[in-house]
Structure 1
Amino acid sequence: MGLRKRTAQNVQNGTALAADWAVELRGVRRQYGRGGSAVHALRGVDLTLVRGSFTAVMGPSGSGKSTFLQCAAGLDRPSGGTVRLGGTEITGMSENKLTALRRSRLGFVFQAFNLLPSLTVEQNVVLPMRLAGHRPDRRRAAEVLAQVGLDGLARRRPGQLSGGQQQRVAIARALVTRPDVVFADEPTGALDTRTAGEVLALLRQAVDQLGATVVMVTHDPTAAAWADRVLFLADGSIVDHVEGASAERIAARMTDVRAVA
Protein backbone atom coordinates (compact mmCIF):
# COMPACT_ATOMS: atom_id res chain seq x y z
CA MET A 1 0.00 0.00 0.00
CA GLY A 2 1.38 3.44 -0.94
CA LEU A 3 2.23 6.07 1.66
CA ARG A 4 -0.64 8.32 0.65
CA LYS A 5 -3.24 5.54 0.88
CA ARG A 6 -1.79 4.21 4.11
CA THR A 7 -1.71 7.58 5.89
CA ALA A 8 -5.15 8.50 4.57
CA GLN A 9 -6.43 5.22 6.01
CA ASN A 10 -4.73 5.96 9.32
CA VAL A 11 -6.46 9.34 9.51
CA GLN A 12 -9.80 7.76 8.68
CA ASN A 13 -9.28 5.16 11.39
CA GLY A 14 -8.17 7.79 13.88
CA THR A 15 -4.72 6.22 14.23
CA ALA A 16 -2.55 8.75 12.43
CA LEU A 17 0.80 9.29 14.13
CA ALA A 18 2.80 12.49 14.36
CA ALA A 19 5.20 10.99 11.82
CA ASP A 20 2.36 10.99 9.27
CA TRP A 21 1.96 14.76 9.35
CA ALA A 22 3.71 16.89 6.74
CA VAL A 23 2.40 20.20 8.11
CA GLU A 24 1.19 21.01 11.62
CA LEU A 25 -0.12 24.37 12.79
CA ARG A 26 -1.12 24.72 16.43
CA GLY A 27 -2.82 27.90 17.59
CA VAL A 28 -1.09 29.96 14.88
CA ARG A 29 -1.82 33.67 15.05
CA ARG A 30 -0.41 36.47 12.92
CA GLN A 31 -1.01 40.06 13.89
CA TYR A 32 0.24 43.15 12.10
CA GLY A 33 0.41 46.36 14.11
CA ARG A 34 -0.86 47.04 17.60
CA GLY A 35 -3.79 48.54 19.41
CA GLY A 36 -6.94 49.58 17.62
CA SER A 37 -5.26 49.54 14.23
CA ALA A 38 -3.98 45.97 14.56
CA VAL A 39 -4.81 43.56 11.75
CA HIS A 40 -5.42 39.95 12.79
CA ALA A 41 -4.47 38.04 9.65
CA LEU A 42 -4.60 34.61 11.34
CA ARG A 43 -6.63 33.88 14.46
CA GLY A 44 -5.47 30.68 16.15
CA VAL A 45 -5.32 28.27 13.22
CA ASP A 46 -5.11 24.57 14.15
CA LEU A 47 -4.38 22.25 11.25
CA THR A 48 -2.62 18.99 10.39
CA LEU A 49 -1.95 17.91 6.82
CA VAL A 50 -1.08 14.30 6.12
CA ARG A 51 1.98 13.32 4.09
CA GLY A 52 1.29 12.50 0.47
CA SER A 53 -1.84 14.65 0.26
CA PHE A 54 -3.04 17.54 -1.89
CA THR A 55 -4.70 20.41 0.00
CA ALA A 56 -6.22 23.53 -1.54
CA VAL A 57 -6.79 26.71 0.47
CA MET A 58 -9.49 29.17 -0.59
CA GLY A 59 -11.12 32.27 0.86
CA PRO A 60 -12.28 35.80 0.07
CA SER A 61 -9.76 38.57 -0.49
CA GLY A 62 -8.19 39.48 2.85
CA SER A 63 -9.17 36.18 4.48
CA GLY A 64 -5.58 35.27 5.37
CA LYS A 65 -4.70 32.85 2.55
CA SER A 66 -1.33 34.38 1.73
CA THR A 67 -0.44 34.83 5.39
CA PHE A 68 -1.36 31.19 6.03
CA LEU A 69 0.94 30.01 3.25
CA GLN A 70 3.79 32.28 4.35
CA CYS A 71 3.59 31.15 7.99
CA ALA A 72 3.21 27.48 7.08
CA ALA A 73 6.21 27.68 4.74
CA GLY A 74 8.45 29.57 7.18
CA LEU A 75 8.45 32.70 5.02
CA ASP A 76 6.81 34.71 7.82
CA ARG A 77 6.90 34.25 11.57
CA PRO A 78 3.61 33.82 13.45
CA SER A 79 2.81 36.10 16.36
CA GLY A 80 1.81 33.04 18.38
CA GLY A 81 1.45 29.28 18.12
CA THR A 82 3.74 26.69 16.54
CA VAL A 83 4.46 25.39 13.04
CA ARG A 84 6.02 22.01 12.26
CA LEU A 85 7.16 20.86 8.85
CA GLY A 86 7.97 17.18 8.41
CA GLY A 87 8.07 16.83 12.20
CA THR A 88 10.52 19.73 12.66
CA GLU A 89 9.34 22.74 14.64
CA ILE A 90 10.33 25.86 12.73
CA THR A 91 8.71 28.53 14.91
CA GLY A 92 11.82 29.52 16.84
CA MET A 93 14.41 28.73 14.20
CA SER A 94 17.09 31.24 13.32
CA GLU A 95 16.80 32.82 9.89
CA ASN A 96 19.88 30.93 8.69
CA LYS A 97 18.42 27.58 9.70
CA LEU A 98 15.05 28.50 8.20
CA THR A 99 16.71 29.41 4.92
CA ALA A 100 18.59 26.11 4.85
CA LEU A 101 15.38 24.19 5.60
CA ARG A 102 13.45 25.97 2.84
CA ARG A 103 16.19 25.22 0.31
CA SER A 104 16.51 21.54 1.12
CA ARG A 105 13.09 20.40 2.37
CA LEU A 106 10.49 22.68 0.79
CA GLY A 107 9.46 23.36 -2.78
CA PHE A 108 7.73 26.48 -4.09
CA VAL A 109 5.62 27.14 -7.18
CA PHE A 110 4.39 30.68 -7.83
CA GLN A 111 2.03 32.30 -10.31
CA ALA A 112 4.88 34.30 -11.83
CA PHE A 113 7.11 31.19 -12.35
CA ASN A 114 10.16 33.05 -10.89
CA LEU A 115 12.65 31.46 -13.28
CA LEU A 116 15.99 33.14 -13.91
CA PRO A 117 16.03 34.12 -17.61
CA SER A 118 19.81 33.94 -17.97
CA LEU A 119 19.93 30.29 -16.85
CA THR A 120 19.02 27.22 -18.86
CA VAL A 121 16.09 25.03 -17.89
CA GLU A 122 18.44 22.54 -16.25
CA GLN A 123 20.27 25.28 -14.35
CA ASN A 124 16.96 26.66 -13.06
CA VAL A 125 15.89 23.21 -11.91
CA VAL A 126 19.10 22.48 -9.97
CA LEU A 127 19.24 25.97 -8.43
CA PRO A 128 17.87 24.78 -5.04
CA MET A 129 20.75 22.29 -4.87
CA ARG A 130 23.31 25.00 -5.58
CA LEU A 131 21.76 27.37 -3.03
CA ALA A 132 21.84 24.58 -0.43
CA GLY A 133 25.57 24.15 -1.08
CA HIS A 134 25.24 20.79 -2.83
CA ARG A 135 26.69 19.72 -6.12
CA PRO A 136 23.96 19.87 -8.80
CA ASP A 137 22.68 16.41 -9.70
CA ARG A 138 22.14 16.47 -13.47
CA ARG A 139 20.73 12.97 -13.47
CA ARG A 140 18.08 13.97 -10.93
CA ALA A 141 17.32 17.10 -12.98
CA ALA A 142 16.81 14.99 -16.10
CA GLU A 143 14.56 12.66 -14.12
CA VAL A 144 12.21 15.38 -12.90
CA LEU A 145 12.20 17.16 -16.27
CA ALA A 146 11.06 13.90 -17.86
CA GLN A 147 8.39 13.53 -15.19
CA VAL A 148 6.93 16.96 -16.06
CA GLY A 149 7.09 16.35 -19.79
CA LEU A 150 10.12 18.49 -20.64
CA ASP A 151 12.55 15.77 -21.66
CA GLY A 152 15.00 17.19 -24.21
CA LEU A 153 14.51 20.85 -23.25
CA ALA A 154 17.21 21.07 -20.57
CA ARG A 155 19.44 23.46 -22.54
CA ARG A 156 16.73 25.93 -23.52
CA ARG A 157 16.19 29.18 -21.68
CA PRO A 158 12.86 30.26 -20.12
CA GLY A 159 12.28 32.85 -22.85
CA GLN A 160 12.17 30.06 -25.42
CA LEU A 161 9.32 28.27 -23.62
CA SER A 162 5.57 28.79 -23.43
CA GLY A 163 3.96 29.87 -20.14
CA GLY A 164 2.83 26.33 -19.46
CA GLN A 165 6.31 24.96 -20.09
CA GLN A 166 7.82 27.57 -17.77
CA GLN A 167 5.45 26.51 -15.00
CA ARG A 168 6.48 22.89 -15.64
CA VAL A 169 10.09 23.96 -15.10
CA ALA A 170 9.03 25.60 -11.83
CA ILE A 171 7.34 22.37 -10.74
CA ALA A 172 10.46 20.37 -11.63
CA ARG A 173 12.55 22.82 -9.59
CA ALA A 174 10.13 22.41 -6.67
CA LEU A 175 10.39 18.61 -6.79
CA VAL A 176 14.12 18.19 -7.47
CA THR A 177 15.17 17.98 -3.80
CA ARG A 178 12.33 15.57 -2.92
CA PRO A 179 10.89 18.10 -0.46
CA ASP A 180 8.66 17.39 2.52
CA VAL A 181 6.08 19.87 1.18
CA VAL A 182 5.47 21.79 -2.04
CA PHE A 183 3.75 25.14 -1.48
CA ALA A 184 1.96 26.49 -4.56
CA ASP A 185 0.62 30.06 -4.61
CA GLU A 186 -1.95 30.52 -7.42
CA PRO A 187 0.16 28.29 -9.72
CA THR A 188 -2.35 28.47 -12.59
CA GLY A 189 -3.29 32.14 -12.26
CA ALA A 190 -1.30 33.20 -15.34
CA LEU A 191 -2.28 30.25 -17.54
CA ASP A 192 -5.13 29.52 -19.94
CA THR A 193 -7.69 26.88 -18.99
CA ARG A 194 -6.17 23.99 -20.95
CA THR A 195 -2.61 24.67 -19.79
CA ALA A 196 -3.81 25.17 -16.21
CA GLY A 197 -5.38 21.72 -16.33
CA GLU A 198 -2.10 20.21 -17.51
CA VAL A 199 -0.18 21.88 -14.65
CA LEU A 200 -2.74 20.76 -12.05
CA ALA A 201 -2.54 17.23 -13.42
CA LEU A 202 1.23 17.35 -12.83
CA LEU A 203 0.74 18.44 -9.22
CA ARG A 204 -1.82 15.66 -8.77
CA GLN A 205 0.65 13.20 -10.31
CA ALA A 206 3.38 14.39 -7.94
CA VAL A 207 1.12 13.49 -5.03
CA ASP A 208 -0.23 10.18 -6.34
CA GLN A 209 2.89 8.76 -7.98
CA LEU A 210 5.80 10.49 -6.23
CA GLY A 211 4.37 10.76 -2.72
CA ALA A 212 4.71 14.55 -2.64
CA THR A 213 2.67 16.73 -0.28
CA VAL A 214 1.14 19.78 -1.99
CA VAL A 215 -0.47 22.82 -0.34
CA MET A 216 -2.01 25.16 -2.91
CA VAL A 217 -3.60 28.57 -2.45
CA THR A 218 -6.10 29.30 -5.20
CA HIS A 219 -9.18 31.38 -5.98
CA ASP A 220 -10.34 28.94 -8.67
CA PRO A 221 -12.85 26.19 -7.70
CA THR A 222 -11.85 24.20 -10.79
CA ALA A 223 -8.23 24.17 -9.62
CA ALA A 224 -9.26 23.34 -6.05
CA ALA A 225 -11.25 20.33 -7.28
CA TRP A 226 -7.95 18.58 -8.08
CA ALA A 227 -7.15 18.50 -4.35
CA ASP A 228 -8.04 15.84 -1.79
CA ARG A 229 -9.32 18.48 0.61
CA VAL A 230 -10.26 22.14 0.33
CA LEU A 231 -9.95 24.46 3.34
CA PHE A 232 -11.93 27.70 3.47
CA LEU A 233 -10.49 30.68 5.31
CA ALA A 234 -12.47 33.72 6.43
CA ASP A 235 -11.27 36.53 8.66
CA GLY A 236 -8.13 34.60 9.59
CA SER A 237 -9.84 31.37 10.64
CA ILE A 238 -10.62 28.05 8.97
CA VAL A 239 -14.41 28.10 8.78
CA ASP A 240 -15.16 25.09 6.59
CA HIS A 241 -13.68 22.27 4.55
CA VAL A 242 -14.76 19.74 1.92
CA GLU A 243 -13.13 16.54 0.72
CA GLY A 244 -13.22 15.02 -2.75
CA ALA A 245 -15.61 17.74 -3.93
CA SER A 246 -16.53 18.84 -7.45
CA ALA A 247 -15.79 22.35 -8.71
CA GLU A 248 -19.52 23.13 -8.49
CA ARG A 249 -19.74 22.09 -4.86
CA ILE A 250 -16.58 24.02 -4.00
CA ALA A 251 -17.93 27.13 -5.73
CA ALA A 252 -21.18 26.83 -3.78
CA ARG A 253 -19.30 26.56 -0.48
CA MET A 254 -17.16 29.53 -1.45
CA THR A 255 -20.32 31.57 -2.06
CA ASP A 256 -21.54 30.65 1.42
CA VAL A 257 -18.19 31.63 2.95
CA ARG A 258 -18.26 35.02 1.24
CA ALA A 259 -21.79 35.60 2.49
CA VAL A 260 -20.79 35.25 6.14
CA ALA A 261 -17.28 36.72 5.90
Structure 2
Amino acid sequence: MGLRRKNRTEERAGAVVTSPMPSARTGDWAVELRGVRRQYGRGAGAVHALAGIDLALPRGSFTAVMGPSGSGKSTFLQCAAGLDRASSGTVHLGGTEITGMSENKLTALRRTRLGFVFQAFNLLPSLTVEQNVVLPMRLAGRRPDRRKAAEILARVGLGDKGGRRPGELSGGQQQRVAIARALITEPDVIFADEPTGALDTTTATEILGLLRSAVDMMGATVVMVTHDPSAAAYADRVLFLADGSIVDRLEHASAAQIAARMTALTAPAYATVAA
Protein backbone atom coordinates (compact mmCIF):
# COMPACT_ATOMS: atom_id res chain seq x y z
CA MET A 1 0.00 0.00 0.00
CA GLY A 2 1.10 3.61 -0.49
CA LEU A 3 0.66 4.48 3.18
CA ARG A 4 3.93 4.33 5.04
CA ARG A 5 4.80 4.31 8.71
CA LYS A 6 6.78 7.34 9.84
CA ASN A 7 8.50 8.36 13.06
CA ARG A 8 6.19 10.99 14.53
CA THR A 9 7.42 11.23 18.13
CA GLU A 10 8.26 14.92 17.87
CA GLU A 11 4.99 15.76 16.10
CA ARG A 12 2.87 13.95 18.67
CA ALA A 13 4.57 15.67 21.59
CA GLY A 14 2.86 18.93 20.62
CA ALA A 15 0.10 17.57 18.46
CA VAL A 16 -2.88 19.68 19.49
CA VAL A 17 -2.51 23.42 19.32
CA THR A 18 -5.09 26.02 20.28
CA SER A 19 -3.49 28.91 18.42
CA PRO A 20 -1.62 29.11 15.11
CA MET A 21 2.00 27.97 15.26
CA PRO A 22 4.34 30.36 13.39
CA SER A 23 6.58 27.53 12.22
CA ALA A 24 3.73 25.37 10.94
CA ARG A 25 2.08 25.64 7.54
CA THR A 26 -1.51 24.66 6.85
CA GLY A 27 -0.33 21.71 4.75
CA ASP A 28 1.56 20.27 7.73
CA TRP A 29 -1.66 19.20 9.43
CA ALA A 30 -4.16 16.45 8.66
CA VAL A 31 -6.99 18.38 10.33
CA GLU A 32 -7.00 22.10 11.09
CA LEU A 33 -9.90 24.14 12.48
CA ARG A 34 -9.61 27.86 13.13
CA GLY A 35 -12.35 29.81 14.91
CA VAL A 36 -14.97 27.23 13.94
CA ARG A 37 -18.44 28.01 15.22
CA ARG A 38 -21.72 26.26 14.46
CA GLN A 39 -24.98 27.92 15.34
CA TYR A 40 -28.45 26.52 14.79
CA GLY A 41 -31.31 28.99 14.71
CA ARG A 42 -31.28 32.70 15.48
CA GLY A 43 -32.09 35.13 18.23
CA ALA A 44 -32.90 34.04 21.75
CA GLY A 45 -33.53 30.47 20.63
CA ALA A 46 -30.18 30.03 18.90
CA VAL A 47 -28.10 27.00 19.87
CA HIS A 48 -24.32 27.41 19.80
CA ALA A 49 -23.20 23.85 19.17
CA LEU A 50 -19.59 24.88 18.56
CA ALA A 51 -18.34 28.05 20.22
CA GLY A 52 -14.99 28.68 18.52
CA ILE A 53 -12.80 25.61 17.95
CA ASP A 54 -9.08 26.12 17.32
CA LEU A 55 -6.93 23.04 16.82
CA ALA A 56 -4.50 21.33 14.50
CA LEU A 57 -3.85 17.59 14.37
CA PRO A 58 -0.71 16.11 12.74
CA ARG A 59 -0.72 13.46 10.08
CA GLY A 60 -0.30 9.90 11.33
CA SER A 61 -1.93 10.50 14.70
CA PHE A 62 -4.89 9.10 16.66
CA THR A 63 -7.17 11.59 18.42
CA ALA A 64 -10.21 10.78 20.55
CA VAL A 65 -12.95 13.35 21.21
CA MET A 66 -15.07 13.07 24.34
CA GLY A 67 -17.51 15.16 26.33
CA PRO A 68 -20.83 15.12 28.17
CA SER A 69 -24.03 14.56 26.26
CA GLY A 70 -24.79 17.63 24.16
CA SER A 71 -21.24 18.98 24.37
CA GLY A 72 -20.85 19.26 20.60
CA LYS A 73 -18.96 16.04 19.80
CA SER A 74 -21.08 15.01 16.83
CA THR A 75 -21.23 18.56 15.48
CA PHE A 76 -17.45 18.78 15.76
CA LEU A 77 -16.98 15.59 13.75
CA GLN A 78 -19.53 16.63 11.13
CA CYS A 79 -17.97 20.05 10.62
CA ALA A 80 -14.42 18.68 10.60
CA ALA A 81 -15.38 16.06 8.01
CA GLY A 82 -17.36 18.42 5.78
CA LEU A 83 -20.65 16.67 6.55
CA ASP A 84 -21.99 19.93 8.02
CA ARG A 85 -20.92 23.51 7.32
CA ALA A 86 -19.48 25.75 10.00
CA SER A 87 -21.31 29.03 10.60
CA SER A 88 -17.94 30.77 10.74
CA GLY A 89 -14.23 29.93 10.81
CA THR A 90 -12.17 27.72 8.50
CA VAL A 91 -11.62 23.99 8.14
CA HIS A 92 -8.65 22.44 6.34
CA LEU A 93 -8.27 18.73 5.61
CA GLY A 94 -4.91 17.52 4.37
CA GLY A 95 -3.97 21.11 3.59
CA THR A 96 -7.12 21.79 1.54
CA GLU A 97 -9.62 24.35 2.78
CA ILE A 98 -13.12 22.92 2.58
CA THR A 99 -15.01 25.81 4.16
CA GLY A 100 -16.34 27.36 0.96
CA MET A 101 -16.37 24.28 -1.25
CA SER A 102 -19.39 23.51 -3.37
CA GLU A 103 -21.38 20.43 -2.41
CA ASN A 104 -20.16 18.59 -5.51
CA LYS A 105 -16.51 19.23 -4.68
CA LEU A 106 -17.09 18.29 -1.05
CA THR A 107 -18.68 15.02 -2.11
CA ALA A 108 -15.72 14.24 -4.38
CA LEU A 109 -13.27 15.04 -1.57
CA ARG A 110 -15.09 12.80 0.90
CA ARG A 111 -15.02 9.92 -1.59
CA THR A 112 -11.32 10.18 -2.38
CA ARG A 113 -9.59 11.67 0.65
CA LEU A 114 -11.66 10.79 3.70
CA GLY A 115 -12.63 7.51 5.33
CA PHE A 116 -15.58 6.92 7.64
CA VAL A 117 -16.33 4.26 10.26
CA PHE A 118 -19.72 4.41 11.96
CA GLN A 119 -21.33 2.56 14.84
CA ALA A 120 -23.91 1.01 12.49
CA PHE A 121 -21.25 -0.22 9.98
CA ASN A 122 -23.26 1.17 7.00
CA LEU A 123 -22.44 -1.73 4.67
CA LEU A 124 -24.60 -2.51 1.66
CA PRO A 125 -26.19 -5.93 2.31
CA SER A 126 -26.58 -6.79 -1.39
CA LEU A 127 -22.85 -6.43 -2.07
CA THR A 128 -20.09 -8.84 -1.16
CA VAL A 129 -17.43 -7.89 1.37
CA GLU A 130 -14.98 -7.15 -1.42
CA GLN A 131 -17.53 -5.05 -3.30
CA ASN A 132 -18.25 -3.03 -0.13
CA VAL A 133 -14.54 -2.40 0.37
CA VAL A 134 -13.94 -1.11 -3.17
CA LEU A 135 -17.17 0.91 -3.26
CA PRO A 136 -15.39 4.25 -2.53
CA MET A 137 -13.23 3.64 -5.60
CA ARG A 138 -16.28 3.02 -7.78
CA LEU A 139 -18.06 6.12 -6.44
CA ALA A 140 -14.95 8.18 -7.20
CA GLY A 141 -14.93 6.92 -10.78
CA ARG A 142 -11.80 4.83 -10.28
CA ARG A 143 -11.29 1.24 -11.35
CA PRO A 144 -11.69 -1.05 -8.32
CA ASP A 145 -8.36 -2.53 -7.27
CA ARG A 146 -9.17 -6.10 -6.21
CA ARG A 147 -5.57 -6.85 -5.34
CA LYS A 148 -5.43 -3.90 -2.98
CA ALA A 149 -8.79 -4.87 -1.48
CA ALA A 150 -7.49 -8.38 -0.82
CA GLU A 151 -4.39 -6.95 0.87
CA ILE A 152 -6.41 -4.70 3.15
CA LEU A 153 -8.90 -7.45 4.00
CA ALA A 154 -5.96 -9.64 4.97
CA ARG A 155 -4.66 -6.85 7.20
CA VAL A 156 -7.97 -6.69 9.08
CA GLY A 157 -8.19 -10.46 9.42
CA LEU A 158 -10.79 -11.10 6.71
CA GLY A 159 -8.61 -12.43 3.92
CA ASP A 160 -10.95 -15.38 3.32
CA LYS A 161 -14.23 -13.42 3.56
CA GLY A 162 -14.16 -11.35 0.37
CA GLY A 163 -16.98 -13.30 -1.28
CA ARG A 164 -19.32 -13.27 1.72
CA ARG A 165 -22.27 -10.94 2.26
CA PRO A 166 -22.33 -8.66 5.33
CA GLY A 167 -25.29 -10.57 6.74
CA GLU A 168 -23.12 -13.68 6.98
CA LEU A 169 -20.62 -11.95 9.25
CA SER A 170 -20.59 -11.10 12.94
CA GLY A 171 -20.84 -7.49 14.10
CA GLY A 172 -17.12 -7.34 14.72
CA GLN A 173 -16.36 -8.71 11.28
CA GLN A 174 -18.69 -6.18 9.69
CA GLN A 175 -16.85 -3.37 11.46
CA ARG A 176 -13.57 -4.80 10.14
CA VAL A 177 -15.04 -4.52 6.64
CA ALA A 178 -15.94 -0.91 7.38
CA ILE A 179 -12.35 -0.20 8.44
CA ALA A 180 -11.02 -1.86 5.28
CA ARG A 181 -13.41 0.28 3.22
CA ALA A 182 -12.17 3.40 5.03
CA LEU A 183 -8.55 2.54 4.25
CA ILE A 184 -8.91 1.56 0.58
CA THR A 185 -8.38 5.09 -0.83
CA GLU A 186 -5.47 5.86 1.52
CA PRO A 187 -7.39 8.84 2.93
CA ASP A 188 -5.98 11.95 4.57
CA VAL A 189 -8.18 11.30 7.61
CA ILE A 190 -10.41 8.51 8.94
CA PHE A 191 -13.33 9.82 10.99
CA ALA A 192 -14.80 7.25 13.37
CA ASP A 193 -18.09 7.92 15.17
CA GLU A 194 -18.57 5.57 18.15
CA PRO A 195 -17.03 2.69 16.15
CA THR A 196 -17.29 0.23 19.05
CA GLY A 197 -20.67 1.35 20.39
CA ALA A 198 -22.52 -1.71 19.06
CA LEU A 199 -19.83 -4.27 19.96
CA ASP A 200 -19.06 -6.41 22.99
CA THR A 201 -15.93 -5.63 25.01
CA THR A 202 -13.71 -8.30 23.43
CA THR A 203 -14.67 -7.39 19.86
CA ALA A 204 -14.36 -3.68 20.64
CA THR A 205 -10.80 -4.26 21.80
CA GLU A 206 -9.98 -5.96 18.49
CA ILE A 207 -11.46 -3.10 16.46
CA LEU A 208 -9.59 -0.45 18.47
CA GLY A 209 -6.40 -2.44 18.00
CA LEU A 210 -6.96 -2.32 14.24
CA LEU A 211 -7.42 1.45 14.28
CA ARG A 212 -4.30 1.82 16.40
CA SER A 213 -2.40 -0.40 13.97
CA ALA A 214 -3.63 1.64 11.00
CA VAL A 215 -1.99 4.68 12.59
CA ASP A 216 1.23 3.01 13.74
CA MET A 217 1.88 0.69 10.82
CA MET A 218 0.20 2.41 7.88
CA GLY A 219 0.54 6.11 8.70
CA ALA A 220 -3.22 6.70 8.85
CA THR A 221 -4.76 9.63 10.74
CA VAL A 222 -7.77 8.77 12.92
CA VAL A 223 -10.21 11.14 14.65
CA MET A 224 -12.66 9.19 16.82
CA VAL A 225 -15.69 10.38 18.78
CA THR A 226 -16.39 8.08 21.71
CA HIS A 227 -18.06 8.03 25.12
CA ASP A 228 -15.90 5.12 26.33
CA PRO A 229 -12.71 5.95 28.31
CA SER A 230 -11.30 2.50 27.51
CA ALA A 231 -11.67 3.23 23.79
CA ALA A 232 -10.18 6.71 24.14
CA ALA A 233 -7.12 5.23 25.86
CA TYR A 234 -6.02 3.80 22.49
CA ALA A 235 -5.55 7.34 21.16
CA ASP A 236 -2.42 9.49 21.31
CA ARG A 237 -4.50 12.25 22.84
CA VAL A 238 -8.01 12.93 24.08
CA LEU A 239 -9.82 16.23 23.53
CA PHE A 240 -12.63 17.08 25.95
CA LEU A 241 -15.56 19.22 24.79
CA ALA A 242 -18.05 21.11 26.94
CA ASP A 243 -20.42 23.88 25.88
CA GLY A 244 -19.14 23.57 22.33
CA SER A 245 -15.53 24.37 23.26
CA ILE A 246 -12.38 22.32 23.85
CA VAL A 247 -11.91 22.68 27.60
CA ASP A 248 -9.18 20.14 28.28
CA ARG A 249 -6.92 17.49 26.76
CA LEU A 250 -4.83 14.51 27.86
CA GLU A 251 -1.82 12.97 26.12
CA HIS A 252 -1.20 9.19 26.20
CA ALA A 253 -3.61 8.76 29.12
CA SER A 254 -4.94 5.61 30.75
CA ALA A 255 -8.63 4.71 30.81
CA ALA A 256 -8.71 5.58 34.53
CA GLN A 257 -7.25 9.04 33.93
CA ILE A 258 -9.69 9.69 31.10
CA ALA A 259 -12.65 8.51 33.19
CA ALA A 260 -11.61 10.80 36.04
CA ARG A 261 -11.42 13.78 33.70
CA MET A 262 -14.86 12.96 32.27
CA THR A 263 -16.26 12.80 35.81
CA ALA A 264 -14.91 16.30 36.41
CA LEU A 265 -16.61 17.53 33.23
CA THR A 266 -19.99 16.28 34.41
CA ALA A 267 -19.64 18.11 37.75
CA PRO A 268 -22.04 21.04 38.45
CA ALA A 269 -19.78 23.54 36.64
CA TYR A 270 -20.50 21.71 33.39
CA ALA A 271 -23.98 20.47 34.19
CA THR A 272 -25.66 22.72 31.63
CA VAL A 273 -24.19 22.13 28.20
CA ALA A 274 -25.01 23.14 24.68
CA ALA A 275 -26.95 20.81 22.46
Are 1:7 and 2:11 matched, yes or no?
yes
Report how many aligned residue pairs link the two structures. Answer: 260
Are 1:79 and 2:100 matched, yes or no?
no
SS of the equivalent of 2:261 reads helix
Question: Within 2, Cα distance between the matches of 1:138 and 1:7?
Answer: 34
* Preserved contact between residue 3 and residue 52 of structure 1 (Cα < 8 Å): no
> Structure 1 residue 221: deviation in Å?
0.2
Percent identity between matched residues is: 78
Q: Please list, as runs of the form range in 1=range in 2, the aligned pairs for 1:240-255 lying within 5 A after superposition.
A: 240-255=248-263
> Structure 1 residue 19: deviation in Å?
3.0
Q: TM-score, normalised by structure 1?
A: 0.97
| Aligned-partner residue type, residue 252 of structure 1 | A
Quick one: structure 1 residues 9 and 217, their matched pair in 2 at CA, closer, same or farther if it must change by over 3 Å? closer
Are 1:168 and 2:184 matched, yes or no?
no
Residue in structure 2 matched with residue 67 of structure 1 by the alignment: 75
Q: What is the alpha-carbon root mean square deviation over aligned residues? A: 1.5
* Preserved contact between residue 15 and residue 57 of structure 2 (Cα < 8 Å): no
- Residues 25-47 of structure 1 show CA distances to partners (whole Å, capped at 9, x for unaligned) of 00000000000000000001001
* Preserved contact between residue 26 and residue 32 of structure 2 (Cα < 8 Å): no
* Preserved contact between residue 10 and residue 16 of structure 1 (Cα < 8 Å): no
Question: Within 2, Cα distance between the matches of 1:41 and 1:19?
Answer: 27
> Structure 1 residue 8: deviation in Å?
2.9
Q: Structure 1 segments of 4 or more deviating over 6 A?
A: none
> Structure 1 residue 18: deviation in Å?
3.4
Are 1:88 and 2:92 matched, yes or no?
no
Question: Within 2, Cα distance between the matches of 1:123 and 1:6?
Answer: 39
* Preserved contact between residue 57 and residue 216 of structure 1 (Cα < 8 Å): yes
Residue in structure 2 matched with residue 145 of structure 1 by the alignment: 153
Residue in structure 1 matched with residue 137 of structure 2 by the alignment: 129
| Aligned-partner residue type, residue 72 of structure 2 | G
Question: Within 2, Cα distance between the matches of 1:115 and 1:193?
Answer: 22
SS of the equivalent of 2:266 reads helix
Question: Within 1, Cα distance between the matches of 2:33 and 2:6?
Answer: 25
Question: Within 1, Cα distance between the matches of 2:7 and 2:113?
Answer: 18
Question: Within 2, Cα distance between the matches of 1:11 and 1:71?
Answer: 20
> Which consecutive residues of structure 2, in runs of 5 or more, have no partner in the other structure?
271-275
Residue in structure 2 matched with residue 234 of structure 1 by the alignment: 242
SS of the equivalent of 1:43 reads strand
From 206, 219, 223, give the equivalent of 1:211.
Answer: 219
* Preserved contact between residue 239 and residue 248 of structure 2 (Cα < 8 Å): yes
SS of the equivalent of 1:126 reads helix
Q: TM-score, normalised by structure 2?
A: 0.92
| Aligned-partner residue type, residue 154 of structure 2 | A
> Structure 1 residue 2: deviation in Å?
1.7
| Aligned-partner residue type, residue 8 of structure 1 | R
Question: Within 2, Cα distance between the matches of 1:195 and 1:46?
Answer: 34
Quick one: structure 1 residues 160 and 11, their matched pair in 2 at CA, closer, same or farther if it must change by over 3 Å? closer
